[in-house]
Structures are given as structure tokens and as C-alpha cells.
Amino acid sequence: MSGVQVEIVAGALEAATREMVASLIRTAFSPNIKERADCSTALCDIEGRALSLMTNAPAHLGSTLRLVPELLKRFPLASLREGDAFLANDPYIVGVTHLNDCTVVVPVFAQAEPVGFAVAVAHHSDVGGRVPGSEAGDNTSIFQDGLRVPPVRIRAAGQLCGDMIELFLLNSRTPHFGEGDLMAQLASCERGVQRLGELFRRHGIAQTREYLDRIIDATEARLRARIREVLTEGVYEAEDWLDDNGVDGQPVRFVVRLTVRDGTIEFDCSDCPDQVESGKNVPLSHTLATAYFCLSAAVDPYAATNEGLYRTVRLIARPGSILNPLPPAAVGSRNTTSMVLADAMFNALGQAGPARAIAACGPGQGIILSGHDAQRSRYFVDYENFAGGQGARGHSDGLDVVQVNMSNTSNLPVESLEMEFPLRIERYEMIADSGGAGRFRGGLGAVRDVRVLCDKATVALRSARQRFAAGGLAGGRPGALGAFILNPDSTAERRLPSTGSSIPLARGDVLRVVTPGGGGFGDPRERDRERVRRDREQGKVSVESAAQVYRLDE
């Protein structure tokens, strides 16, 4: 078997999933997918092994782990037909991250035999539940999160199952987006069906399966070699804090114990607390995705994303803990929790491989604005995560205003937001001094003012780093904190909670979202003088900070 041929097949798989995600983004209806790219695509074999996964959101890295086995429990291979398609969204059944991550699965056939599956995961704007947007940190059970969908058939031998699709859309406040996004997912999967089917037809079923085994084994071998190269064997421990538990304001402490041994890593999260009575629990598949992302980013970001990656990571998370909750625990705001978990994991990895160390990050602050759009005579849901600042590394500054860790989605452009929703952006700028000072500066956070242009709107809020700042490393200082402020710079100004839902907003109200900055790396007094002057000239560091913190022009 030619190694060159194996590489060609591996390249074809990656190209296929990239084509799938491009198709999904270009044909989707909701801004959350067509603008923010909150979606992912994958190809799996009939055993459910990931052959290639193209993810814009690292949170989706674990979304296929249980998907195919659970699908086949309900629909055995022998019952599948060409043109079938299935829908699922329940994290406790198929392992997606939360109910908004609706997943479409289409079987792939070659020589009338099922040989794999094409998968498209997309965050739908609304799937019902207690609050608009179906995501609230203060939900107390998954039944409040929205409609739970086990694997169900939505297309049978090429014919859409109208009753199942109608049931799904009837539970959404935004069916005008939901239907278009669902059809975009089907179109995306058809690209995957075509590309994977071509490989099996060209090389034959037996030969292609040999290629797939080789590809997965090669990814595992590559990552094991890189782990041995960049991480020192041993046991390392790190901790970090989530601002609140979503119930009574108590903080949540995360402890991660990393073991590096024989080209593999183990994250032991046994000392993390029990599951909480809020939506801040993290389903096991999402916790695994966090571990996969941290390893890939720290060790080898260019390695293929397939089953071989999963083989190099072991995760220990107690059933019934906040990182492996039991139903009916709510999980809607799991991504906020995993942002802080990722910082703790990166901290431990940085101890094992100091050259790869990164200071803690300022995660995006999430809001869901909703209400009635009188101009369009329909309900609107604006789901957004406003970007914060990346932590600095030992060789470079953190990136300013960028989605970090488990969220890699784009910022929604101002023009798109104002065209789609009865909202207006009146301020959007980086915040001077918000990045932690250091020899290398933490990335800056931003401030964004959103004015409400409709009556009786509401907002749901979710966040991290409004109480516990992103910590610096090696003498670097922490980043600035985030905040939600209603009607800033007015007599009606008030600070909103870091977690909340159904907060009423009136026409003309302004919601200010302040995102946190990343931590700095190294002693600020050692920062290159020209870098400090450039930061001061660009407004990233104030005149006072340049003089007092960085000791410029002493």
C-alpha cells in the first residue's frame, strides 16, 4: 500500500469536509451560521469513527463520538436506504454539546452497501424552551433548554418526512431561520455523501477501509511523537475559577491534574465539583472536546482531526460532576464553563511544555437579545458571543478581540446585525489597558453598545471573567474584567448580573457589553520599548500605563 496514496486519500477527506462546511455556510439562513459560522462537518465510517472533522467551533470536536452508535441502535444498518437522513440534538443521547447544536446525519453507500456517514452540526437560533435562544445559564433542567430530539428520520429514501420537520419547526421561535438552516445541513451532507462515495467507488470498499485505518493510525502516531517531543513526562496540576454557579452566585473551582506518559496525556478532573442546578454543566462530549482542543492547540495544531487524535487523550470526569452531568441537568451555557476549563488545561500543558505556555484568556461575553420585529412581523433572536482578548505567550502578544478556546466563531458584522434585527450598534472599540501587562501583552477586550429599536425586548446573559480575571504568567499581570451595563453614562445606568435571563428591555435602552482581556506574560518592565510606544500611539496602552506600568521613558 503506497504511502503517497494514503496521503492522497487523507487529503481528499479533509477537502470533502471543508467543502461541506463551505456549502453549509453559503446556503444557511440564520446569521449565526451564515455570518458567525457556528457549525461543523464530519465524515464517519460505519463504526462511528471520525475520518475527518472540519470544525469552526472546537466545542464540536466531540460531537460525533456517540452519534453513529446511537443512531444505529434505533436504525440498524440493514434498514438504511440511500437518500435517508436523520436529525438529533440531545447531548445525553448522541453527545452533541447542547440542544441548539442540531445534527443532520446522512448514510453513504457504495455498491448498495452502507460504508459511512456524512454529518453536519449547526447551532440553530432557537429550539424552544424557557427562554428565547434556548440557552440560559439559570435554567435548572434540560427540559427548560428546549426540544430534545433523539435520532429521528427526517428523509426516507429521498422523500422529506414533513411531519417530523413540522414538529421540529413548531417548537422554534424562529422557524423562518430553522427551516432554511435544516435544508442547508442536508445540502452540506449531500456534498459529503458524494465525496466519500467517490473514494469507495474509486478504490473499492476493502482497499478504502485499509486506507482509512492507515490514516487514523498515522494521526495517532504523529501526535504521540509530538507529545514526546514537546511535553515532559510527569504529573502537573492547575486550577482556575468560574465566576458563579448560575444559582446563588457561588464561584466554581476547577482543578485539573495532567499526566504525560508514553506519548499520551490524561486529564484527571475528579476534584471538580458536583453538577450544579443551572445550565453551566458541561456534557461529557463537550468536556472531551475541550481536552482534544487543548492537546491539538498546544502540541500539533496541524495534525488531522480524526479518531487518531482521540486515541491520545484520556479524560477522567466523575459521573454527576459539573463536567459529566447526569440528566436532567441543564447544559445550555456549557461553553462558558468550558472556556475556563480550557485555561486550566492549558496552564497544566504549559507546565509540561514551557515553550507552549499561554496565559489565561478573556472569553467572549454571550447575550441573546429577542423580541418582536414589527418591521418584519416576526419574532427575532439575536444570539451572539462578543470576543475578548487572548492570553499572551512567551514569544508574542495575545490577539486582540478574538474568540478564544472553545468558541472560534466570527464576530457578527455590524451591517449584518442591523439589517437582520431591530438593533443598532452605537459603539464598538477596543479598550485601552484591558490586556494584561507583561513582556508580552495580553490581548485587548472590547466594548460594544447595542441600542434596542423595538418594544418589550428581553436579554439573556452568560459570561465568565467578570469576577475572576484571566491570570498572567511568569510575572505578567491579569487582564481586565468583563461587564454587562444597562444604559451606561445615564441616570438610569445599572450593572446587570453576569448570568441571567428574561431581563426586560424597553425601546431606546442601550446594553453595553464589555469583554475581558487576556493575561500578560513576563515582567512588564522587560517589554520592548518600541512595542510600548507603538501600543501607546495606537491607543492600546494609555499614556499613564505606559509610564507607570511599563516604565517608558524613565
Least confident of 48-52, 148-152, 273-277, 409-413: 409-413
* Residues paired with residue 237 on neighbouring β-strands, in sequence order: 257
Contact 391, 522 (CB under 8 A): no
pLDDT score of 1 more than 90: no
Strand 313-316 to 264-268 pairing:
parallel
d(CA 200, CA 110): 6
How far is CA 22 from each of CA 45, 199, 341, 430, rounded to the nearest angstrom?
22, 20, 30, 30
Give domain 3-219's CATH architecture: 2-Layer Sandwich (3.30)
pLDDT score of 492 more than 90: yes
For range 104-125, the mean pLDDT:
97
pLDDT value at residue 124: 97
* Grid cell locating 51: 475520518
Q: Which residues make Cβ contacts (< 8 Å) with residue 285, sequence separation at least 6?
A: 62, 63, 65, 66, 91, 95, 96, 97
pLDDT value at residue 409: 82
pLDDT value at residue 411: 82
Least confident of 3-12, 220-229, 346-355: 3-12
pLDDT in tens, 350-402: 999 999 999 999 999 999 999 999 999 999 999 999 999 999 999 999 999 99
Question: DSSP assignment, residue 371?
Answer: E
pLDDT score of 236 more than 70: yes
Phi, psi of 494 (to 5 degrees): -155, 150
Confidence of residue 554 (pLDDT cuts 50, 70, 90): low
For range 262-273, the mean pLDDT:
97
Strand 494-495 to 510-514 pairing:
unpaired
Percent of the chain at pLDDT > 90 equals: 95
Phi, psi of 70 (to 5 degrees): -70, -35
Strand 39-45 to 365-373 pairing:
unpaired
pLDDT in tens, 313-323: 999 999 999 99
pLDDT value at residue 261: 97
Confidence of residue 85 (pLDDT cuts 50, 70, 90): very high
pLDDT value at residue 412: 85
pLDDT value at residue 243: 96
pLDDT value at residue 3: 82
The radius of gyration computed from the CA coordinates of the chain, to the nearest angstrom, equals 23
pLDDT value at residue 55: 86
Phi, psi of 32 (to 5 degrees): -65, -25
pLDDT in tens, 145-181: 999 999 999 999 999 999 999 999 999 999 999 999 9
Confidence of residue 50 (pLDDT cuts 50, 70, 90): very high
Confidence of residue 494 (pLDDT cuts 50, 70, 90): very high
pLDDT value at residue 106: 98
For range 113-119, the mean pLDDT:
98
Strand 113-123 to 101-110 pairing:
antiparallel
* Residues paired with residue 381 on neighbouring β-strands, in sequence order: 370
pLDDT in tens, 449-481: 999 999 999 999 999 999 999 999 999 999 999
For the chain, domain boundaries: 3-219, 358-554
d(CA 102, CA 95): 11
